[in-house]
Amino acid sequence: MSERRKQLQAQALQEAVQALRARQFARAEQIAASILRNVKTDRAALLVYAHALLGQQRAGEAVAPLEKAALRGPDPELETLLGAALCESRRAADGLAQLRKIAARRPPYLPAFQELAGRLAKSGRLGDAIGVIEEALLLAPDSVDLKLDLGRLCLQANQRARARESFVAAREAAPGRPDILIELAWVQFLDGDYAEAAGTYKHALGLRPEDTQTRANLAMCLMELGDRAGAEAALRTVMRGRPHLLSRAAYTMAVSSHGRFFFRPSDAAKFLGANGAGAVKP
Determine contact, residues 154/166, Cβ cutoff 8 Å. Answer: yes
Question: Does residue 254 have a pLDDT over 60?
Answer: no
Tally Cβ neighbours within 10 Å of residue 213.
Answer: 11
pLDDT tens by residue, 67-103: 999 999 999 999 999 999 999 999 999 999 999 999 9
Which residues have CB under 8 Å from 13's CB, separation 6+? 31, 32, 35, 42, 44, 45, 48
Question: Where is average pLDDT lowest: 145-154, 180-189, 232-241?
Answer: 232-241
pTM of the model: 0.84
Walk me through the domains of the chain, giving residue ranges and CATH numbers: 1-103 (1.25.40.10), 175-272 (1.25.40.10)
